[in-house]
Amino acid sequence: MQIIKNIFTSLLIALSLFGCTKKEGLQNLAATEFQSELKSAEPGQILDVRTSDEYANGHIEGAILADVTSDAFQNAVANLDKSKTVYVYCLSGGRSSAAAGQLQEMGFKSVVNLTGGMLAWQSANLPVSTQEGVAKRTEGMTVADFNNQIKGKKLVIVDYNATWCGPCKQLSPVLEAWIKAQNGQVELIKIDVDENQELAKAKQIESIPYLEFYKDGKMIDKQIGMGDAASMTKQWSKTLL
């Protein structure tokens, strides 16, 4: 009987230790899971690591601006409690992943990153807050506007990108060179997701770079992210030509 009691006690201790440490480390959560976790977030522990313009255009309630590309990130982090969970997000997940890595290196034990960033958050129709007194920028192109732009065109590649997106900048010259080589057969349309958030939300774009391929106004394929130039251009030719 004593042996059974000892085993039971050991299990309780193990479960207790697990419960205390299960949130340590880095967690990558989808939008709805991230929102659920925020209910237990401490004030000041939610970081929006985008630019000030992006933040002003709409952010998660309770988040503080901590642009990971500027001194604002270090200044914000200096005021955080390393013993408590930190929540980070950006537009699509790239910058927040980098920020999460930095936070771990700084000694933060528990970091939660929003997979897909604000694009995923908005696609899930979750609430967005705006700074008081800051004019909300235009949502840009609507779905109707987009459809009108595509209508009647034979072959089109739509490139969804953002000025801060490193992979987008790597993809751009490869894509533009391929388009030029087609001698006018294929049209390229570039759309900045920051400036056209209504369209990005409607299309449920959660990651960039993102390409769409159209024939006679109908989407026939898409590409998320990027690979090596030779493989991509071969696939583009196979898809459209």
Element (H, E) at 104: helix 94-105
- The DSSP code for 225 is S
Q: C-alpha angle with apex 123: 188 to 24, nearest 5 degrees? A: 115
DSSP 49-80: -S-HHHHHH-B-TT-EE--TTSHHHHHHHTTS
Contacts of 114 (CB under 8 A, 6+ apart): 29, 31, 34, 87, 88, 89, 90, 93, 96, 120, 121
Identify the residue whose tokens are 């980070």.
88
Query: Does residue 20 have an active-site annotation?
Result: no
Rounded to an integer, what distance in angstroms lies between the CA atom of residue 39 and that of residue 62? 11
Taking the alpha carbons at both ends of the chain, their separation in whole angstroms is 77
Query: Does residue 168 have an active-site annotation?
Result: yes
Catalytic residue (choose from 29, 165, 199, 208)? 165
Catalytic residue (choose from 60, 158, 168, 171)? 168
Sheet of 64-65: strands edge to edge? 25-29, 110-114, 86-89, 46-48, 64-65
Helix (H, G, I), strand (E, B) or coil at 94: helix
Peptide bond preceding 167: is omega within 30 degrees of 0, i.e. cis?
no
Q: Which residues pair with 29 in a beta bridge?
A: 114
Active site residues: 165, 168
